[in-house]
Amino acid sequence: MFSLSKIENFKIFTPGPTPVPEDILRMGSWQSPYNRTQSFSELTFDILDGLKALFNTRGEVVILTASGTGAMEAAARGCLSPEGRALIVNGGVWGQRWVDICRTNDLPFEEIKLAPGTTVEPSDIEARLMGGSFNALLINGHETSTGVLYDLPAIGEIARRHNALFIVDAISTIGADEFQMDDWGIDVAILSSQKALALPPGLSFVALNQRAMDRLDSAPPSGIYFDLRVYLKNQARGQMPYTPAISLFLMLHERLNQMRRVGLDQGIERHAQLAKYFRDQLDDLSLQVFPLRPSNAMTAVRCANGINARELVRMLETQHRIYVAPNPGELETRVFRVSHMGDQHEEDVDGLCSALRSTIDSLRPVREMNQYK
């Protein structure tokens, strides 16, 4: 039976949700104001300005009360068509999400399938684009299941050269790694609230440049809730077409102000520092960084010496009240994931590493006994 005590007094190092600052959490307990007012419109306009700065774009940003998958599907349904064909880079669970979205919506595609933990060579993408009539390229800026960060500037240049609409799921990279939507030739980019924004889940954002909006204008209707054109029309007056997550709007407004005061570059550097601080301690724990090109947002960690990663994740939760993330794919017994996003500090990392050491020490005798059975 569920009990609130099971989710109290814990530490969380998952790549979503991430720890929310206390002052932002308190805002979530406020009574929700009525949203069909001039005051709420002004709030929305402020938020849109802050989001454009976060994406580094002069284009438009749509706010959805939805998960990141909802935003991915909205982008695909609005910017792709059955008459075109997309090339998808599939490096893990979230690359597969693009595949599933296109397949379910009858949007033609081909995929570049990668081995887990490996990156894609821009030259391989170019060869595929040259060999087929593709009008879109879909990728995850950071494949969160394996921790790989793709070379978006180089890939964006290739997409431009071949006139392919470049759509990037940047959900777990914006705010943690450098991201330049306009300068890198990205036409559509997607973000969610529960990652480096350090907010609760519930909001997602789709940024579009003029080229992407031209695709929207020529697309047939694609349902009601995820029709981005309806949102753009309503946002012109600072409103949402449907009831939004009002409390999250208030929290987002304050969080964007905080990030603006600190500076986006400083925030990215902070993620890099925390990532390095954690990774520098892995050798002493007999653990390894899994991907060749990791993001600042999180570290996918490979277990050594026969340690079962899934069991390690379970023991951290049950014995230390610490949440790290298992690998959601075929690597679940070998790899786990540690986030560096959200309201996190070096002392939190120290506590995690201490718990990891204790847990690994307790798992080693089990492994050694199993060897002699």
pLDDT in tens, 182-204: 999 999 999 999 999 999 999 99
Closest CA to 282 of 302, 311, 309: 302
Each residue's pLDDT tens digit, 251-271: 999 999 999 999 999 999 999
Write the pLDDT tens digit of every residue in 322-352: 999 999 888 999 999 999 999 999 999 999 9
Residue among 213, 224, 358, 353 nearest 279 (CA): 353
**Whether residue 364 has pLDDT greater than 90:** no
Instruction: Write down the mean pLDDT value for the chain.
Output: 95
Residue positions counted in the chain: 373
At 365 the pLDDT is 61
Q: What are phi and psi of 280, to 5 degrees?
A: -65, -20
Q: What is the rounded average pLDDT of the residues 5-19?
A: 90
Alpha carbon distance 44, 326 (integer Å): 36
Q: Where are the domain boundaries for CATH 3.90.1150.10 in the chain?
A: 4-18+265-371
Residue 115, classified by CB atoms within 10 Å of its CB into exposed (0-12), middle (13-18) or buried (19+), is exposed
- Higher pLDDT residue, 363 or 3? 363
Q: What is the CATH number assigned to the segment(s) 23-261?
A: 3.40.640.10
**Span 4-18+265-371 CATH architecture:** Alpha-Beta Complex (3.90)
Q: Which pLDDT does position 75 carry in this prediction?
A: 98
pLDDT band at 366 (very low <50, low <70, confident <90, very high): low
Q: What is the 3-state secondary structure (H, E, C) of 97-136?
A: HHHHHHHHCCCCEEEEECCCCCCCCHHHHHHHHHHCCCCE
**Could you give the CA distance from residue 174 to residue 122 in angstroms, rounded to a whole number?**
21
Residue pLDDT, tens place only, 78-103: 999 999 999 999 999 999 999 999 99
Q: Do 35 and 244 meet the contact criterion of CB atoms below 8 Å apart?
A: yes
Kindly tell me if the per-residue pLDDT of 275 is higher than 50.
yes
Q: How far is CA 56 from CA 33, 52, 153, 323, 352, in A?
A: 30, 6, 14, 32, 34
The pLDDT-based confidence of 3 (bands split at 50, 70, 90) is: confident
Ranges of CATH 3.40.640.10 domains, the chain = 23-261
What integer is the mean pLDDT of 98-117?
A: 97
The stretch 125-153 carries a mean pLDDT of 97
Say yes or no to pLDDT of 304 above 80: yes
Task: Quote the crossing angle between the two packed helices 122-131 and 152-161, to the nearest 10°.
Answer: 20
pLDDT band at 372 (very low <50, low <70, confident <90, very high): very low
Place of tokens 């036409």: 187
DSSP codes, 299-368 = EEEEE-TT--HHHHHHHHHHHH-EE-EE-SSTTTTTEEEEE--SS--HHHHHHHHHHHHHHHHHHHHHHH
User: Are residues 165 and 188 in contact, defined by beta-carbon separation less than 8 angstroms?
Assistant: yes
For residues 26 and 247, the answer to whether their CB atoms sit within 8 Å is no
Q: Which residue has the higher pLDDT, 350 or 292?
A: 350
Q: What pLDDT, on the 0 to 100 scale, is given for residue 373?
A: 44
CA–chain centroid gap for 1, Å, is: 31
**Which of these, 184, 226, 182, 189, lies nearest to 207 by C-alpha position?**
189
- pLDDT of residue 66 exceeding 90: yes
Nearest to 62 by CA among 224, 228, 225, 187: 228
